[in-house]
Amino acid sequence: MPRNAKIYIACVITLGLGLLALSLAAGWETRDAVRYTAYLGLALIASTWKVKLPGMQGTMSVNFLFILIGVAELSIGETLVLASLATIVQCQWRTKKRPTLVQVLFNLGAISLSVYASYRVTHLFSATPEAPVYLAIAAAVFFTINTGLVSQVLALLDGKRLFDVWRNCHLWTFPYYLAGAAITALMCTANRTIGWKQSLLPLALMYLLYTHYRIYLSERLALLTNGSGASGLSNAIGSLAARVAETRPENSAPKPATS
C-alpha cells in the first residue's frame, strides 16, 4: 500500500472516531428510548439489504435512510451511534471475505465524518430539519463526503484522479439518496400526524427502491456477460473486465461503506 494512502487512512480513522468519541463525551440524550431502540433495530436490519457496487469491493445499503431520520429527529450522539453500529453490520454481514480491522475502522471513520457534517450543516438552517428541502441538503452532504472519502482512498491506491474514480463508482447512485430523502420526509410528516409507529409504513417504498437497484445492477451485469453469439459474449466479457480493472482497488484497500 502506498505511503500516502496509509497516511490518508490513518487521518480518516483518527478524525472520524475522534468526532464520535467527542460527541458521546458531550453527553448522551434520548427523548424516547423505545422509539430510538426501534429505529436502531430497523437500521441494523436495513444494513443487510446490500447492493454490490460494480467494480468495487464495497456495497450500498438502505441504512442511510435511518441516518437521515436521525438528522431530522434525533440527537447527534444518537445518530452517530446508530450509523456506526449499522456500518459494522454492513461490513460483516454475509461477506465473501472478512474485512480487516483497518477496513472496519476506516469505514467507521468515514461514516462518522459524513454523518457529523450532514447533521451540523443541515441544523445550521433549521433546528428541526424535517422539511424535504433540508433533508435533500442532508442527503447531498452525506453523499458527497462519504463517497468522496471512499473515492479518495481508491484513487490513492490506484494512482488515479479523484474525480474520475468518484464519477465511475458513485455518481450514478445520487438519485438513490435523493429518493431516500423524499421517503424520509414522508416518514417525518407521518410521525407528526399519526405517530412514529405508523410512520414506519413508508419503509416498504425504500425496500422497493432497493429491490429496483439490485435488479438493475443484475441486469446490467447480465447484459455485459451474455451477448448474442460467441463474439458478443467475448466483447461483453472484455468490456466488463476493462470496467472492473479501471475501478477495482487493491486487495488491501479498506472496504468502502457507502450507505
Task: Average pLDDT across each block of 10 residues of the chain; the chain has 259 residues. List them in order.
Answer: 94 97 86 93 90 65 90 94 96 87 96 96 89 94 95 91 87 87 92 88 81 73 52 36 44 50
Dist. CA 152–CA 159, nearest whole Å? 10
Per-residue pLDDT, 249? 44
Dist. CA 40–CA 78, nearest whole Å? 9
Per-residue pLDDT, 168? 81
Dist. CA 196–CA 74, nearest whole Å? 13
Q: Which helix (H) or strand (E) holds 255?
A: none
Per-residue pLDDT, 259? 54
Closest alpha carbon to 147 in 93, 110, 116, 120: 110
196: left (phi over 0), alpha (psi -120 to 50) or beta: alpha
Q: Which long-range contacts (CB under 8 A, 24 or more apart) does 94-101 make?
A: 94/48, 94/50, 95/255, 97/57, 99/254, 99/255
Query: Helices 174-194 & 132-158, crossing angle to 10 degrees?
Result: 150
Per-residue pLDDT, 26? 85
Cell numbers placing 172: 450514478
Per-residue pLDDT, 148? 95
Q: What is the CA radius of gyration of the chain?
A: 19
- What is the DSSP secondary structure assignment for residue 198, as one 8-state letter? G
- The full set of domains in the chain, from first to last, is 3-258 (1.10.1760)
Closest alpha carbon to 115 in 48, 70, 149: 70
Cell numbers placing 216: 438493475
Residue that is written with C-alpha cell 487512512 in the block:
9
The total number of residues shown for the chain amounts to 259
Strands 59-61 and 50-52: antiparallel
CB-CB contact of 154 with 254 (8 Å): no
Say which amino acid occupies 161: R
Dist. CA 246–CA 138, nearest whole Å? 30
